[in-house]
Amino acid sequence: MVLSRLSEGAMAAVDLRGIAFSEAERIIFRAGGLTATAFRFASGVDAIRMSNGTDEVVVLPFQGQHVWSARLGGRDVGMKSMFDMPRPTQKFFETYGGYFQHAGITAIGAPGPMERREQHGELPNATYRDAAVLLGEDESGRYIAVTGRYNHTVAFATNYEAFPILKLYEGRARITIGITVTNLKSTPLPVHYLGHLNWRAREGGRLVGTLHETAESLRVRQEIPPHIQPGPGYVEWIAELAKDPSSAGTLTSDKIFAPEVVFAFDPLTDDEGRSHFMQIHPDGTADYTSFMPENTGAAARWICRTGDQEAVGMAFPVRSPDETARVNGRPLTHAPLGQGESFKNEIVAAVFTPAEAEAMARHIEAVKRQRA
Q: Mind giving me the DSSP string for 173-208? A: SEEEEEEEEEE-SSS-B--EEEEEE-BPP-TTEEEE
pLDDT of residue 2: 58
Higher model confidence: residue 225 or residue 47? 47
CB count within 10 Å of CB 128 equals: 21
As a whole number, the mean pLDDT across the chain is 95
CATH number of 190-337+348-372: 2.70.98.10
Give the pLDDT confidence of 13-40 residue by residue, as tens digits: 999 999 999 999 999 999 999 999 999 9
In the chain, what are the domain boundaries?
1-185, 190-337+348-372
pLDDT of 5 reads 55
Would 1-185 and 190-337+348-372 be classified into the same CATH topology? yes
10: confidence class by pLDDT, cuts 50, 70, 90? confident
**What's the pLDDT at 322?**
80
Model confidence at 110: pLDDT above 90? no
| pLDDT at residue 6, as a whole number | 58
Q: What is the per-residue pLDDT for 8?
A: 62
Residue range 1-185, CATH number: 2.70.98.10
The reported pTM is 0.95
Residues 309-326, mean pLDDT to the nearest whole number: 93
DSSP label of 309? -
Distance, CA of 148 to CA of 150 (rounded, Å): 7
Instruction: For residues 144 and 282, give the distance between their C-alpha atoms in angstroms, rounded to a whole number.
Output: 31
Higher per-residue pLDDT: 8 or 125: 125
User: So what's the pLDDT on residue 4?
Assistant: 59
CA distance 304 to 198: 10
pLDDT tops 80 at residue 106: yes
Cβ count near 18 (within 10 Å): 7
For residues 100 and 316, give the distance between their C-alpha atoms in angstroms, rounded to a whole number.
10
Give the range among 99-103, 163-167, 295-299 with minimum mean pLDDT. 295-299
Q: Are strands 56-60 and 66-72 parallel, antiparallel or unpaired?
A: antiparallel
Among residues 252, 129, 150, the alpha carbon closest in space to that of 201 is found at: 252
* Mean pLDDT value of segment 181-198: 98
pLDDT class for 299, splitting at 50, 70, 90? very high
* pLDDT above 80: residue 3: no
